[in-house]
Structure 1
């Protein structure tokens, strides 16, 4: 008896999951970090997203396109965190 074939997993689910992690990390940094330390904590948050991208893509179990998926995950996380960081910087500039 042959085992049933599973449908292929989506390729973009893991990429978007890392972007969501980036949003959560950037918002946590923006809310909990002191304004003068936000710039120092954002690269640490990007490092968390980097390791999360590797973990998510390794968990997917697909070797084809691994480097492309990890790079898209990290690049998207960098853009998301940069935009949120710029938003917090502008909010601090106009609030103070």
Structure 2
């Protein structure tokens, strides 16, 4: 029999950490990748964010709400990477 936790830690930090990793990956991809291949590399970066989300939340050790935390992490990462990708797309469009 296991005893319940008295004061469970907040797991929102793990979600934010994945969003920050997504922003860093999107910025690196946007700067390094050629504009023709940027969308393909963004998909690879999102796949990396899924793996990062699983790793971060598995390392937390909390089973309760695991699926919701991973889903929030991946959805937020997709939105962050999408907004940064739109920014790079508009910059490419108007740069000439």
Taking structure 2 as the reference length, the TM-score comes to 0.92
Give the 3-state SS of the residue equivalent to 1:64 in structure 2: coil
Structure 1: where are the runs of 5+ without partners? none
Q: Deviations over 1:45-64 (max 9, x none)?
A: 00000000000000000000
Which contiguous aligned blocks of 4+ residues in structure 1 show a shift greater than 2 angstroms?
5-8
CA RMSD of aligned residues (A): 1.2
How far off is 1:6 after superposition? 7.3
Separation in 2 of the partners of 1:38 and 1:73?
Answer: 22
Unaligned ranges ≥5, structure 2:
none
Residue 71 (structure 1) aligns with: 71
User: Aligned partners of 1:91, 1:6: CA distance in 2, in Å?
Assistant: 50
How many residues of Structure 1 are paired with residues of Structure 2 in the alignment? 92
How far 1:87 sits from its partner (Å)? 0.3
Q: TM-score, with normalisation over the residues of structure 1?
A: 0.92
Q: Secondary structure at the match of 2:62?
A: coil
Q: Any residues of structure 2 matched to 1:19-58 within 5 Å, and which?
A: 19-58=19-58
